[in-house]
Chain A
Amino acid sequence: MYELVDKELVAPDIWKIKVRAPHIAKAYKPGNFVIVLPHERGERIPLTVFDTDEENIHIVFQEVGKSTKLLGKMKVGDQIQDIMGPTGHAFPSQKFGNVVLIAGGVGAATAVPLGKHLHACGNNITIILGARSKNLVLFEKELQDISEKLIITTDDGSYGVKGFVTDALKEILSNEVVDLVLAIGPAVMMKAVSDLTRPLKVKTLVSLNSIMVCGTGMCGACRVGYKDGTVLTCIEGPELDGHMVDWNTLLPRLSMYKEEEAISLSLLDNESR
């Protein structure tokens, strides 16, 4: 059991929680994530580690399905059934040079630790932070602190530049030398970014958010077509080469359990009524 020691609403439906897990906090490296089982009858879901301190891991998540809604309802002092981790590859400690870090929606939560890491490794970072509208722009301050330049885009133009992250990326790519693009966000966004950089041969990493069960390379739920074969996101990722990912099979896999997710959610709504 893992105690929830603090919680904070970062944006509508988006929480930052601190959970006591000193052993995970100590082992964590940027790029790693954790698998959370909210309660005894729950499911195992992968969540982003935003930060750590001596005792705790800080997890950021958006209420989407039943499990994240249940986590969102937990109070300080409540116990989370199980947290396993850290798992996933740590991000390489490397100086790439000029890096464009693209964060879409709640992907900003993963962009912060990776951005800090890239900054610490001496990279020049340009950040494109995208959201649907102003109230969903996340972690602007944290990302500002580590970037040479921060561009904000919103779909509705309520903040920053109106448009998509790819519009901003296009402009950068036509004016500057870019050594690495790192895209974190919805799969369709990461696909669009990869499609844009592929003909230009700009190295592009994406942070995949596959459906997972075990998180230890055993089950194969998170597998994705990659190069000429298949890799498991949980142990070979989550950061993978966007030009090698078979997006045509990844995208349908992400919505494989849409019907079941709807059943779980409607039951949860009935319970809370």
Chain B
Amino acid sequence: MPLKDRIPMPEQDPKLRITNFDEVALGYTEEQALMEASRCLQCPNPTCIQGCPVNIDIKAFIGLIQEGKFTEGYYKIKEKNNFPAMTGRVCPQETQCEASCVLAKMGKPIAIGRLERFLADHEMYKPQQIETEKKNHIPVACVGTGPASLAAAANLAKKGYEVHLFEALHLPGGVLSYGIPEFRLPKKIVNHEIMLLSDLGVFIHTDVIVGKTYTLQQLRREFKSIFLGTGAGAPLLLGVPGENLNGIFTANEFLIRVNLMKAYRFPEFDTPIKKGKEVVVVGAGNVAMDAARTARRLGANVTIVYRRSRAEMPSRAEEVQHAEEEGIHMKLLTNPVAFHGKDGWVQSVEVVSMQLGSPDERGRRKPIPIEGSNYEIYCDQVIVAIGTTPNPILKYSTPELLLTPHGNIVVDEQYQTNIPGVFAGGDIVTGSATVIEALGAGKKAAIYIDKFIKGA
């Protein structure tokens, strides 16, 4: 019998979707979910689960979909992952669970992420039935409210701890709120999955900068243990001439204005954003794609400039595809060397063409400038999306906390820092990674925090 194709994800038409911020991927209907799930072979020795950073019992939840048991399927996922509506949307399934599916060899793996999302969307607004251990009234703090801290908080709350989350901004969610755009991860969903944490008894404190409002030392007096999930929040810049001209944004600023502050609805919301006509986005990771697609929706003609070739793009393939469908141009093997402007505003990016040399220590071919190939790309806005680095605030107030030369927190194999009882995980430890890797780190750290407290 020939292998059936994956059920395609219904999506907004590209022509329409570049005029709005509504979600692009619309989600499976029950019928589509049943059809896609029916393709799963229910392998006796499933390989997909090994591909999941939080070890969701994928075979079991898809089996439950096959039987039409959607509620049971949902709780099967929730045993391992408290945020399936978010991960079903933003996980790079194609390099994780779906890459490990036996059908991947034929190029048609089960659409595990889409099925995860289907169950979450189907069930998450119903009254939740999560079993938690009896409350032990032991206070634990999680600093930051991005994926790592949320996962740590959820798992500690389930074990009965009194968990307090601390967020510097006015809304929780970290990168889920300020970074990933509405059209990829609706904020209604982020808010809902975070609100479900409050149902588990987790307290969320916004407007608190740990390191400023309260020091880590103060928190240590109040809490038995502390998890630091502060992320890799500080923007990197190119460090080339003209980078502080008006009209040049870091991806973080651009996305925070649009996502967190809802500047795309200015003047209904007070935070403004500059709407460029010709926008250059530097970088080719997921954040670059998010920034490019956001600028497109604000009405710009957008060009992505990337110093390596298509094969090295760090972004998910689906994001690149969505960007190209939306009419975003790619200038590959191209690197900015300067920005030129007039009256304080950017007018062009001077770029140089690149070629790929021999592989570097990570196996990626190193881009080398081609001498004399400089030319200018005219633009009225630039968004620099070349990555982030750890935020230094905690470091300033906690000099005793051991860091790597890059500013990441050093932890042992049990996620504990050099300060006893203080744990850390997610991007602040590993550098920029994915949502699911941070969730996985928070979840594992919770196990060791529990052990630490019970052993103490």
Contact = CB atoms under 8 A, between A and B. Distances in A.
* A pairs with B: yes
A184 interface: no
Given A216-B391, A217-B392, A256-B246, A86 B271 contact: no
A216 B252 CA distance: 12
Contact of B268 (A41, A44, A84, A251): A41
Contacts of A260: 266-267, 272
Nearest to A263: B267
B270 A213 contact: no
The binding surface of chain B is classed by DSSP as loop
B235 A214 contact: no
B189 interface: no
Contacts of B239: 229-230
Given A84-B207, A213-B256, A214-B256, A44 B271 contact: yes
B257 interface: yes
B290 to A, nearest CB: 15
Chain B: interface residue count, which band? Answer: 35 or more
Nearest to B254: A219
B253 interface: yes
Contact of A219 (B206, B256, B392): B256
B209 A85 contact: yes
B253 A217 contact: no
Contacts of B271: 42-44, 213
Interface string B3-25: 00000000000000000000000
A5 interface: no
Interface string A49-78: 000000000000000001100000000000
Contacts of A261: 272
Nearest to A23: B213
A246 interface: yes
B270 A249 contact: no
B49 interface: no
A87 B168 CA distance: 10
A160 interface: no
Contact of A224 (B178, B244, B252): B244
Contacts, number: 128
B413 interface: no
B139 interface: no
A226 to B, nearest CB: 10
Contacts of A43: 261, 269-272
Contact of B343 (A83, A214, A252, A264): A252
B392 A213 contact: no
- How many residues of A sit at the interface, in one of the four size bands? 35 or more
Given A87-B212, A217-B234, A67 B270 contact: yes
Interface in B150-191: 168-170, 178
B393 interface: yes
Contact of A84 (B209, B262, B345): B209
A267 interface: yes
Interface in A244-273: 246, 249, 251-253, 256-257, 260-261, 263-264, 267
B217 to A, nearest CB: 12
Nearest to B245: A249
Residue among A86, A89, A213, A219 having the largest count of chain B Cβ atoms under 10 Å? A219
A218 B170 contact: no
Interface string B48-90: 0000000000000000000000000000000000000000000
A146 interface: no
A77 B347 CA distance: 48
Given A84-B169, A217-B393, 8 more contacts: A41-B262, A84-B207, A89-B396, A214-B169, A216-B168, A219-B252, A223-B250, A252-B245
21 contacts: A24-B213, A43-B270, A43-B271, A43-B272, A84-B169, A86-B212, A214-B168, A214-B169, A216-B393, A217-B391, A218-B178, A218-B234, A223-B244, A223-B250, A225-B244, A230-B239, A232-B234, A246-B244, A249-B344, A251-B344, A264-B272
Interface of B: 168-170, 178, 206-209, 212-214, 233-235, 237, 239, 243-246, 249-250, 252-253, 256-257, 261-262, 266-272, 274, 343-345, 391-393, 396
